Structures are given as structure tokens and as C-alpha cells.
Copies of this chain bind each other. A is one copy, B any other.
Amino acid sequence: MIPSRLRIVLVSPRNPLNIGAAARAMSNFGFFDLHLVNAYDVAFREARSAVNAAAVLQNAREHSSLASALDGCSLVVGTTAAAHRQLQHPLRRLEAGGRLLRAHLASAPAALLFGSEKFGLGNDDMSYCHWLLRIPSRPEHPSMNLGQAVAVSLYELIRQSRAPQPETRRPAPAEDLDRLSALLEQALLASGYAHANSTPAKIRRLIRRLNPGLHDAEVLQGMLRQILWKLSGS
């Protein structure tokens, strides 16, 4: 596990204290790559100017879209408090998910997403995720404070355990999966495929579940380009 390969992405955080707490936990556990998507401006400025603002916060990057915050990440994991909500994604407990994430970070970059304090990650945000992670909180009171959720998740990653098995396949980065999703969407449109399965979010989720490696993602893009060219030309 190489901590510098993990990107922490806070989506729509609203409370400067929580942003600061997330940054502090990152610094405590040796993670330094913080990204914020649609952060409430005042909150971010306030957090950044706090006396104890860690270097993490000073170097945090802002984005106006989730997609741009995921550039270069070949694994995207969302966090959720929902144990039973109908989810479109594989859901893993932190213990098991942490092992997978550690194994991935041994060879390639990944992003770990946290949603807003009030609503968590939305369905659209989740459609960018390969799978979801759940901290094993009590079903009667599952929702955790944002800063505490970040702290617990990162602790699981750095805690000492037996050695995880490394991933051998080279995973495809997020932008490749985005291009692939867009190409499939266009091909389906051009073919007249009209179905509840063909919304952009559903297609993104489908591609994440298939999770092609770097090489396969390229091959599939080539195939779809050819199909699309033929469909468009007809």
C-alpha cells in the first residue's frame, strides 16, 4: 500500500470544521492528497485559514465536477452509511473493502469518496464508483460524522495486518472508463436502443462493474469507435 496513491475526495462538503477534521485525520495517518468537489466556498476558505490547518488543506484542490477530480484514478470507491438501501453497486464492509483498496494501492492510484454531511453521495456520484464501502456502524444509528468517517477509513488502511495480495493486472484510469461509457452511450443511441438501461448513469455503472483493465479498455474503445462510425455512416 502506497499512501500517496490514495486521493481523498470530499463531495459537496458544507461544514468547515468537517473539512478541517478530514484533513487532520489524513495528516495523522499519512495521506496528503485531498480534493474537494463543489465545496461550499465559504466553508473551504474558513477551513483553510484555520490556525491548525494542516499542509493537507493548504494543498487541497477544488473541482466543479466529480469526473475531473477522478483523473488518473483506476479504482474509485464511494462510502455510504446505507446497509439496506437498494444499491446498484457491490457493497463491502470496511474490513474487506480496505483489503482490496490496499492491494490496489500497491500498484495503482485510487480515489475514496465521501459525500456531503447531510445526504451522503448521490446516485450520480455513485455511478462513478467501482464499488461502495460501508463502515460497520450500528444499523439503528449508521450515519457518521464526516471527519470521523474519514479517520476510521484511513485507520483501516494503515493498521497492521497480514500482507495483502498485489493486483497483477494494470487497471484502467477513470478517464478511460468515462470515454468508454460515452462511446457505448453514443453507439446505443445511434442503434436506436431505447431502454431503461441506457441512461448515462446506468451505463457508467455497467462499465465500472465490468471494470476492464487498461489494455481491454483500449481495445473496447477501438471496437466501439468502429461500430459507431459504421452506424453513423449508414
Q: Which residues of A contact B (CB under 8 A)?
A: 17, 21, 24-25, 27-30, 54, 90-96, 99, 135-138, 141-145, 147-148, 151-152, 155-156, 158-161, 163-165, 168-169, 184, 187-188, 190-193, 195, 197-198, 206, 209-213, 216, 219-220, 222-223, 226-227, 229-231, 234
Beyond the given A25-B148, A193-B226, A209-B212, could you list 16 further A-B residue pairs with CB under 8 A, ordered by the A residue number? A21-B147, A28-B144, A54-B141, A92-B165, A94-B155, A95-B161, A96-B165, A135-B155, A144-B151, A147-B148, A155-B155, A156-B159, A188-B227, A195-B222, A197-B223, A210-B211
A95-B160, A193-B227 are known contacts. Are A30 and B145 too (CB-CB below 8 A)?
no
Q: Is the CB of B138 within 8 A of A193?
A: no
Tell me whether chain A's interface is mostly helix, strand or loop, or mixed: helix
- Chain B residues, Cβ within 8 Å of A28: 135, 137-138, 141-144, 148
Give 22 A-B contacts (CB < 8 Å), ordered by A residue. Answer: A21-B145, A24-B148, A28-B141, A28-B142, A28-B148, A29-B137, A91-B168, A145-B151, A148-B148, A148-B151, A152-B152, A152-B155, A156-B159, A190-B230, A191-B226, A191-B231, A209-B213, A210-B210, A210-B211, A210-B216, A231-B231, A231-B234
